[in-house]
Structure 1
Amino acid sequence: MLREAREAPQVVTRQAGDASIERAAQTIAAFAPSFVVTLARGSSDHAATTLRYGIETHLRLPVVSAAPSVAGVYHADVSYQGALVLAISQSGGSPDLVETLAQARRGGALTCALVNTLGSPLAHAADLVLPLHAGEERAVAATKSYLAALTLGAQLLCAWRPDEALSAALHRLPGALDAVLAQEERAVAAAGRLTGDQTTLVLGRGLHAGVAAEAALKLQETAGVGALAFSTAEFAHGPARLAEPGTPALFFQARDATAPFTADSLSTLRGYGAQITLIGDDVPGQAADLPTPPTGHALTDPAVSALAAQLLIAHAALRRGENPDAPPRLAKVTRTR
């Protein structure tokens, strides 16, 4: 997992040189979708959550998440007329995703697969294929392939609707990821807070909600730590009951429009007595344990936060005596129907 995470800057550099992103964006713009549907499971679905916020804030198009069981289990034909369906998968081999994408294509959608395995069934089922450029991923748990999905989504949005600030941020992104990697010792130092048997709360909001969900999954997968992810907004609607004194919490503080709201949530959580590990920006009363460099755009900042979390969680797994590259009972390719 650590080896995969350390390759993140090279992944983004490879994506930047891929002309197929511009061609796909031109095809999508010509199709002029009226809405977007994301199709994914697991880590890829967490990347899709971030992409949803990106599409809705950058393009102002509504986004919904497809339920693969509708086609794969209930065999229900859904009308996708006028939709762009974006399928995200590392392997591209899960039958329920393939079946749903094929059904969407028959139902009038323009389909696009963001995959790491170009010869996969999911790639063959799509109108357009965009490679993640993650390269071979040896760790069982998605690491650089998840980061690649995050950054490829931002690349696609910038090509679809060009934006100078986003383009500049994408150009700076490999350097920002290198800066996160240069602070790995801070992740080592903070990892001990996430090694207990108590359930860890993981919180973020907006573009970082999917990052929080992915961090919780990684804690479960690689460290064997129980973790629950919440939007900070949803956390106030009931789950705050879980924040007993001493409860470990992993908190993502962004630099975007959510910042004042999440800073208030962090202050409240601190008042409950939670033991908070902070990733991202400083807030009044607490410096970030893993500070991340600003990339210059809200759509690229989630990548540096996600990389910092991967370093932290990998070292937490090692401290617990776990092998984060080969968690028990998990396989690299998960096939569901």
Structure 2
Amino acid sequence: MNLDPLTSAIPKAAPLMLQEAREAPDVVRRQLTENAATVSALVAALRERRPLYAVTVARGSSDHACTVLKYALETHLALPVASLGPSVHTLYGANLDLRGALVIAVSQSGASPDVVENVRMAREGGALTVALVNVEGSDLSREAEFVLPLRCGEERAVAATKSYLASLTALLPVIAELTGDAALTDALEALPAALEATLGLEESAQSLAERYRFAENLLVLARGLHFGVAQEAALKLKETCGIHAEAYSAAEFSHGPKRLLAEGVPLLGFAPSDAAADAAASAYAELQSGGADLRTLGPAAGSTLHTPGTGHALTDPVPSALAFYLFAAHLALHKGLNPDQPPLLSKVTRTR
């Protein structure tokens, strides 16, 4: 097999990316048990201080997790959420007025100076600050008022998997307690089992990946809570497979990007079973009737790669993301690439 000189040979053992993705059920179990006291303290603070809006601070995979959190907070707490541009403060010197805000920073390493400095600014300005971070002794964990550890343990693969999945779940017990949503509490308790069932789909994910082995471009579609998973999928396809991939809302796709279908660009659609299900299904059916090369992944009935339902809209994206990671790792292997050694990238990126 001829490999690109910038890449390593396929590892003989399972790539770290796959090994770490397979830890997801245990990560969620640890979160639910070990974060309980912090969750209760944060819920008490939110009830007392009643933030009027929320902003998120993150980059890369963590920012894609924030897209999912945005939908969760807006749909279940009616709390408007905006994404803060870190460089507005660190490069342009603007001190934003974040009084009355809930500021949520997400970072696997907790080491990126721009995220840390924005949390410091927000807390000094009177915001309620929360960090979702894996490295508990990091700069970010010291700056935030509340820390919800991701509980992943060490993550060695350059491509984040278990830390992204943990970022999707860390705040959900807070939402469940604030809203008294017993169904969400039940879904969280059952989520490790759903993730274990998802791991049983690895052979199917490997088979689906095979048909994309020669793809150089790929468009990823989703609606609602799954859109942040689509963003993450597009990043991972670039990172691990060298594929130029972009994520679009299925609602926005017809506003220009649909033109690319005339060039034969294939599609991967995330298929939800929540309130966005009918809209996504309708959009995908229309694309397929027009001849689009589209396969789907998610909890909706009839998905090409059908993931387990979890019993709640807020937890359904987690198995979808895990199934995609299985797909992406095997796609890299099908292409003769090592997903653990993407060219030009390192595990921690420090930006200002």
Shared fold (TM-score, shorter chain, > 0.5): yes
Equivalents in 1 of 2:163, 2:288: separation in Å? 33
Equivalents in 1 of 2:174, 2:260: separation in Å? 39
Aligned to 2:26: 10
Equivalents in 1 of 2:294, 2:267: separation in Å? 5
2:215, 2:243 within 8 Å by CA — same for their partners in 1?
A: yes
Say whether residues 1:45 and 2:63 are aligned partners: yes
2:54, 2:79 within 8 Å by CA — same for their partners in 1?
A: yes
Q: Percent identity?
A: 54
TM-score by length of 1: 0.96
Offset at residue 102 of structure 1 (A): 0.7
Equivalents in 2 of 1:166, 1:281: separation in Å? 17
Aligned to 1:329: 344
Equivalents in 1 of 2:50, 2:221: separation in Å? 35
Say whether residues 1:191 and 2:206 are aligned partners: no
Offset at residue 183 of structure 1 (A): 1.4
Question: Matched residue of 1:17: which SS?
Answer: helix
TM-score by length of 2: 0.92
2:58, 2:106 within 8 Å by CA — same for their partners in 1?
A: yes
- Structure 1 counterpart of 2:22, one-letter code: R
Equivalents in 1 of 2:329, 2:297: separation in Å? 15
Question: Matched residue of 1:234: which SS?
Answer: coil
Aligned to 1:131: 149
Cα 1:281–1:111 shift into 2, 3 Å? closer
Structure 2 unaligned regions, length at least 5: 1-16
Matches within 5 A, 1:232-247: 232-244=250-262, 246-247=264-265
Offset at residue 276 of structure 1 (A): 1.7
1:38, 1:87 within 8 Å by CA — same for their partners in 2?
A: yes
Say whether residues 1:175 and 2:190 are aligned partners: no
Offset at residue 278 of structure 1 (A): 1.0
Offset at residue 88 of structure 1 (A): 0.3
Offset at residue 245 of structure 1 (A): 6.7
1:158, 1:166 within 8 Å by CA — same for their partners in 2?
A: yes
What is the count of residue pairs matched by the alignment? 334
Say whether residues 1:312 and 2:327 are aligned partners: yes
2:272, 2:300 within 8 Å by CA — same for their partners in 1?
A: no
1:196, 1:225 within 8 Å by CA — same for their partners in 2?
A: no
- Of residues 196-205 and 86-95 in structure 1, the stretch that sits farther from structure 2 once superposed is 196-205
Offset at residue 162 of structure 1 (A): 2.4
Aligned to 2:308: 293
Offset at residue 248 of structure 1 (A): 1.6
- Of residues 156-165 and 57-66 in structure 1, the stretch that sits farther from structure 2 once superposed is 156-165
Equivalents in 1 of 2:123, 2:270: separation in Å? 37
Cα 1:282–1:254 shift into 2, 3 Å? closer
Measured on the aligned residues, the alpha-carbon RMSD in Å equals: 1.2
